[in-house]
Structure 1
């Protein structure tokens, strides 16, 4: 049986975003993949789809709601690949008992406020030009494996040549 991989979307979610399909195509031969639109997972009203509005809904209860829903939906051991707010949701769900063996979070800048780390193997990715990435001291204090991608900004995960790099690390988790 293939290991279960959860892919958690970014703030914009969507039923079947083209960029997520690229990740899924590279990973589906080795994993049973479950994709979650975090906007839906958090029960967020995205009708007007103003980024700041959606962001505020996540900060005002949406992250917690998404974590609760994820804990109800997933009861087995999982590997998670989370993008932006999706990585933050994965981190918090892991702290609340989700059985996560490996957590890969890409551009999850809200993690810079975290002081407790999940009991899983963690790898974080940030763009060098992302002004909200955690500072070097945060990585040292929490002893977290990370990769800063040169000349990239927050949405580095949408850039096609970054996708194989991230997917290769996810595939390597099968050997750990």
Structure 2
């Protein structure tokens, strides 16, 4: 129940930010995810990565949707066969998928996640607490440094449907519904 309340609060903060920036009397408009994707498709080759993870009593699952500059989608699901918190799963998914994009020679990457904690820790808004979280954060920072440019953006849960759906399918053990989506099991 706490996780649901936390997600509802995170979605509310995203929809109604606590402050709005004003620039010379005009409201600064922050572009939507779709506008960022379209804008970046018109410039240097930018890829978009949507990542989501969840933890429950049976383990932890993650889903990703990687979108090429030509709008081709690569989808992947991962089951973590070890105990992990929701934050751990978000980091595991992000680390694995950053490595995948590096192997694919992606240089510029927009990463979209609905995990406020992970996004703010990486963007230096929140302090990483605990040795495990600090290790995850350092690992992500080392991987990000290998790209030309990476932008990490917090998005509402409902805008992360593709990655979320994959994580839920793995959680429900509905492998037949995953179809041709690769399913990794990480121990």
The TM-score with structure 1 as length reference comes to: 0.32
Name which one, 1 or 2, has greater alpha-carbon Rg.
Answer: 2
Point out the structure with the larger strand share: 2
